[in-house]
Amino acid sequence: MAQITTNAIVLRRADYRENDRMITLFSPTLGRIDALCRGCRRQKSPLMAASEVFCSGEYVLYQSREHTTVVSCAVQDTFYALRGDYDRLSHGMYALELCAAAVQPDQENERLFMLLLRSLAHLCYGVSEPRRVTAVFLMGLTSLLGFRPQVGRCARCGVRLVPQAGEDEAFYAAFSPEAGGVVCPACGAAERCHISAGEARYLQDIMRRGLESLDAEAACSDALFAALRQMAEEKMDVPIRSGKMLG
């Protein structure tokens, strides 16, 4: 039996009994934690906000052999404004569900924790299109899981890809979820997601700068976004139900 303190984000919740909830926390140092939040559904409960999805804060937990219980929480952010925008809320829920599938108990993953926290901040407080934020998140997630997307060379034959300015409207290459990245025209002629040189540069910029790439003028097409989602979800090997909410 022990009491521990850790920063965490609530990935999901489920009502339990009359006034309790079971919540799934993502801790940067302890991985996924399933915890009981007693009395959090009572009016004026100090744990009410701490039991809601998206809540991030410093959680004090009591661990016994049978279960983990939330003792208290110093809330840092609830990302409450997401609830006022269905599109941004949907993308936020999608990111949470991906992390719930990816993170394991007792598995440290500070980089993914910070990627999620910063992505939620961009969705809640930023001006970038939600799809662009999620595209960066998907590329970062697959990289951190050990499946770094190939964007500088063909993911099949290895030929170097150097998209030049002025080629934006032409078929430059393709994106293959199965191959795990961009493939050259010869290898990608049969792929469903053809991309322009501008989109190839966009993907390379994401891999270089991560969320900092949101300061550039760019767009993520329907076909490319669908391919990025397919790549990430296939690596998860579990259905991501909230993906149906995305436009």
**pLDDT tens digits for range 139-191:** 999 999 999 999 999 999 999 998 876 655 567 899 999 999 999 999 998 99
User: What are the Cα distances from residue 83, in Å, to 2, 79, 87, 155?
Assistant: 35, 8, 9, 39
In terms of CATH, what superfamily is 2-77?
Answer: Nucleic acid-binding proteins (2.40.50.140)
For β-strands 193-196 and 171-176, DSSP reports them as antiparallel
Sign of CA dihedral 232, 235, 238, 239: positive
The label of the residue with tokens 């994106």 reads 175
- 162: which residues sit within 8 A by CB, 6+ positions away? none
Torsion of CA 148, 154, 235, 134, to 10 degrees: 70
**Per-state percent for the chain, helix, strand, coil, to nearest 5:** 40, 25, 35
pLDDT tops 60 at residue 66: yes
Q: Give 80's contacts (C-beta < 8 A, 6+ positions apart).
A: 54
- Which CATH superfamily includes the segment(s) 80-149+196-245? Recombination protein O, C-terminal domain (1.20.1440.120)
Q: Among residues 225, 198, 195, which one has the least CA distance to residue 133?
A: 225
Residue 41 has pLDDT above 60, yes or no: yes
Instruction: Indicate the domain borders of the chain.
Output: 2-77, 80-149+196-245
Which tokens sit at 174? 């393709």
Inform me whether the pLDDT recorded for 101 exceeds 60. yes
Q: What is the pLDDT of residue 219?
A: 83
Which residue's entry shows tokens 């992505």? 119
Q: Which pLDDT score is estimated for 168?
A: 55
| Per-residue burial over 57-87, b = 16 or more CB atoms within 10 Å of its CB, e = otherwise | bebebbeeeeebbbbebebeebbeebeeeee
pLDDT at 169: 58
pTM: 0.94
